[in-house]
């Protein structure tokens, strides 16, 4: 199944996995960057000589960074907008619990915001202060979303560049 140096079956399978990962980064229900990285790992195992381990390690580190961003972005946003540690922790917990309470997509957006607000209220903050922490969490989440899309496109470009050069 090889034509002009391309292993077509592994290439097509990997392209499909990467496509699903990119869609998962844009529609944040799936861990897009982790899916992209898994496609790269599968390709490396399937066709060992086409890409280097350096590419696998770099894209793996980027996928890990994207996952960490998901958890710290809400925390950072709540703190940046004047939230307390309780509000920031509430944002992280809301990000974990939200997708289970609401639908996955809604929960990923609403969960951290409500978590930050509830956390602030338990710290005896006013509704206005709690709302600011919630807005900060939303801003942090949007920033994380944009960065994750960038990471997913960079991982994809790096893989294809390494494969075709």
pLDDT tens per residue across span 78-95: 888 988 989 988 988 998
Give pLDDT, residue 148: 93
Residue-wise pLDDT tens digits, 10-38 = 999 999 999 999 998 888 778 899 999 99
Say which DSSP state 51 is in. Answer: S
pLDDT-flagged residues of the chain (< 50): 1-3
| pLDDT given for residue 95 in this prediction | 84
Residue with tokens 């944009």: 146
User: What is the reported pLDDT for 58?
Assistant: 97
pLDDT, position 29: 74
């Amino acid at each position: 199944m090889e034509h002009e140096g391309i292993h077509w079956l592994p290439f097509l399978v990997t392209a499909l996995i990467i496509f699903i990962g990119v869609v998962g980064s844009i529609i944040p229900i799936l861990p897009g960057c982790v899916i992209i990285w898994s496609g790269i790992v599968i390709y490396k195992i399937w066709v060992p000589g086409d890409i280097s381990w350096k590419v696998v390690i770099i894209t793996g580190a980027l996928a890990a960074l994207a996952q960490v961003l998901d958890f710290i972005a809400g925390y950072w946003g709540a703190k940046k907008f004047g939230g307390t540690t309780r509000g920031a922790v509430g944002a992280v917990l809301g990000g974990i619990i939200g997708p289970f309470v609401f639908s996955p997509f809604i929960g990923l957006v609403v969960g951290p915001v409500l978590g930050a607000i509830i956390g602030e209220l338990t710290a005896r903050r006013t509704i206005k202060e709690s709302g600011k922490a919630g807005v900060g969490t939303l801003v942090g989440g949007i920033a994380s979303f944009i960065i994750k899309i960038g990471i997913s496109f960079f991982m994809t470009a790096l893989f294809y560049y390494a494969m075709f050069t």
